[in-house]
């Protein structure tokens, strides 16, 4: 074991830490030095969205000490940034220890003289974003690890616009957190009078906002018996999604009972992620048994949404995040236009790894479409930049996230469920389905097919392996993929785009990010990006082809699937 790690362990054994923590360290010293090393080999990084990690003892784990120290650093930065009264809002999800972490966060802020609004019990992450803006807070925190496995928890930090931290605040908060050298630097208690408990009144304001997003409320009323199956996957969605659907008039909503109770152990799933077919399998079975119109699932903190529908062959399938996004973007553009409430300065925002089909649709309707780095904080940052000049309508990314309307600044599965059900109602009123609408769009704009390969590399060596993979692609970009020339390399870390055929280069006007994109001559796109919150590297594939009518859809989709499979095999990512 390296001496630097030994010193950290000694600091915890001899420092002002509780006896239970010290006993756990001693047990690991005797029985599992590998786990002990992993628990202390680094500080749990205050990264792209705050903290996220496995729960347990140590500097590289989520525990009361890492949460308290992070909060003290955040509090110090808030006091440097603002004068007068400083208010913060705090929420948490259903995970084990989330309530305890939220209360520790509240107590540390309050002990620093900051006014705290703490939710009475678990609430969706998007409601926290809304609350920051609604109450005029300077910051906020939600204790959640989103869709990660049950061993994880996290701490998402927000700024006064209701968005997660962006430059310069992210780096500045990190710097303040790093200055907290010891748990003795943390003000743990003494300001309890600064804490106000909130709940139902904020729920009501938030649900009114969700209802206001409806473009065709009259169709929702007409199609009130739309057969909806919903699963909160043991998470916070149960607190607000059923009420949101009720407010639009939907009265035929069936909750997946096996997954309705909030439970941080997620007993029916391995990963509480609506992207996973296994996670949605109980909901799919219920939707099939009921012959439902639509299935929806939200992750533990209700910021991601999964959608199940019947395809053109009558089989139940899950839409991928790109399909959900393009349907929603198209609806918000097209429905507003048909209703006559669109504005000439309407804009939509997506991320650089989300389907290019959205750009094509937006261009067709004369709506500005902007591309930003992965993460809703970048969508929020652009909204802030464009405020007063352009009218934000909808934003989203391929990882099952949507942000509809201007009242929140993070992805929101509660409002997404409401709008997706409205979309299904509108199509049903036409005698159609969401899937048939998808094929209509493919026929009009081209069939875009996307896929994702996610490779996990855990532990100390994992980070090095991921960095090595990225460096190899960066220094030796492929010249051909699947027999097609690679014509452009976009390097968002170096902020340079390059034409690999002519040698011409240009600046990429986005913040630095460790992302590489290869553009092929046939307009296929391959992106590589290490995750900012998990020990993973993700590869995104996008291919497309024209179809003349619906009859060509299934065969063309198979051809595109095979193309993606060949690319994955050629790049040795199987």
Q: Just list the catalytic residues.
A: 146
Q: Which residues contact 19 (CB under 8 A, 6 or more apart)?
A: none
DSSP state letters, 158-176: EETTSSB--TTHHHHHHHH
**E strands present in 181-271:** 195-198, 228-231, 253-255
44: DSSP letter: P
Q: Which two tokens stand for residue 420?
A: 């997706």
Torsion sign (Cα): 183, 185, 190, 193: negative
Q: Which of 264, 294, 257, 297 is nearest to 279 (CA)?
A: 297
Alpha-carbon distances, residue 36 vs 3, 26, 480 (angstroms): 13, 9, 45
Distance CA 360, CA 369 (A): 9
Q: Which residues contact 406 (CB under 8 A, 6 or more apart)?
A: 383, 392
Distance CA 296, CA 286 (A): 11
Alpha-carbon distances, residue 467 vs 246, 264, 457, 570 (angstroms): 48, 32, 11, 20
Alpha-carbon distances, residue 77 vs 128, 138, 155, 175, 301 (angstroms): 20, 11, 16, 9, 26
What DSSP element (H or E) covers 337?
A: helix 321-339
Q: Which two tokens stand for residue 208?
A: 């009114």
- Phi and psi at 525, nearest 5°, equal -135, 135
Helical axes 98-111 vs 64-81, angle rounded to 10°? 40
């Amino acid at each position: 074991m390296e001496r630097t790690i030994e010193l950290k362990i000694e600091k915890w054994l001899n420092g002002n830490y509780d006896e239970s923590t010290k006993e756990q360290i001693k047990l690991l010293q005797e029985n599992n030095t590998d786990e002990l090393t992993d628990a202390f080999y680094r500080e749990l990084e205050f990264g792209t969205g705050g903290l996220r990690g496995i729960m347990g003892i140590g500097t590289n784990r989520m525990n009361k000490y890492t949460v308290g120290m992070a909060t003290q650093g955040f509090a110090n930065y808030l006091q440097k940034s603002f004068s007068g009264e400083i208010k913060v809002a705090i929420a948490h999800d259903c995970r084990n220890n989330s309530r305890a972490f939220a209360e520790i966060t509240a107590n540390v802020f309050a002990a620093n003289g900051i006014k705290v609004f703490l939710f009475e019990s678990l609430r969706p992450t998007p409601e926290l974003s809304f609350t920051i803006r609604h109450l005029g807070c300077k910051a906020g925190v939600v204790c959640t690890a989103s869709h990660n496995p049950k061993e994880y928890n996290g701490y998402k930090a927000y700024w006064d616009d209701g968005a997660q931290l962006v430059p310069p605040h992210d780096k500045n908060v990190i710097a303040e957190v790093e200055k907290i050298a010891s748990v003795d630097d943390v003000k743990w208690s003494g300001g309890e009078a600064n804490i106000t408990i909130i709940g139902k009144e904020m729920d009501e304001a938030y649900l009114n906002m969700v209802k206001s997003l409806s473009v065709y409320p009259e169709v929702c009323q007409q199609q009130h018996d739309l057969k909806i199956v919903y699963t909160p996957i043991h998470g916070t969605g149960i607190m607000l999604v059923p009420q949101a659907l009720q407010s639009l008039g939907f009265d035929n909503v069936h909750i997946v009972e096996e997954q309705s109770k909030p439970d941080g152990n997620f007993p029916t799933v391995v990963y509480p992620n609506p992207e996973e077919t296994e996670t949605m399998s109980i909901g799919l079975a219920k939707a099939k048994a009921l012959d439902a119109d639509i299935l929806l699932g939200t992750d533990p903190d209700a910021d991601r949404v999964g959608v199940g529908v019947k395809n053109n062959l009558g089989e139940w399938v899950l839409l991928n995040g790109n399909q959900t996004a393009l349907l929603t973007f198209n609806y918000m553009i097209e429905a507003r236009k048909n209703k006559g409430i669109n504005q000439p300065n309407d804009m939509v925002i997506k991320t650089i790894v989300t389907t290019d089909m959205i750009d094509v649709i937006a261009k067709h309707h004369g709506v500005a479409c902007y591309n930003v780095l992965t993460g809703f904080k970048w969508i929020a940052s652009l909204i802030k930049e464009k405020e007063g000049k352009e009218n934000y309508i909808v934003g989203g990314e391929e990882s099952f996230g949507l942000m509809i309307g201007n009242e929140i600044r993070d992805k929101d599965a509660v409002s997404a469920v409401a709008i997706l059900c409205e979309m299904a109602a509108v199509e049903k009123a036409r005698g159609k389905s969401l899937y048939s609408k998808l094929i209509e769009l493919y026929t009009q704009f081209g069939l875009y097919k996307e896929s994702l390969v996610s490779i996990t590399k855990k532990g100390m060596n994992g980070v090095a392996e991921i960095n090595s993979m990225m460096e190899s692609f960066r220094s030796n970009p492929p010249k051909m993929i699947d027999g097609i020339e690679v014509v452009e390399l976009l390097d968002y870390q170096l902020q340079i785009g390059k034409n690999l055929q002519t040698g011409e280069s240009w600046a990429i006007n986005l913040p630095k990010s460790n992302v590489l994109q290869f553009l092929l001559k046939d307009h296929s796109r391959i992106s590589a990006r290490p995750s900012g919150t998990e020990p993973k590297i993700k590869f995104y594939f996008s291919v497309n082809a024209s179809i003349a009518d619906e009859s060509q859809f299934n065969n063309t989709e198979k051809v595109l699937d095979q193309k993606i499979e060949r690319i994955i095999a050629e790049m040795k990512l199987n």
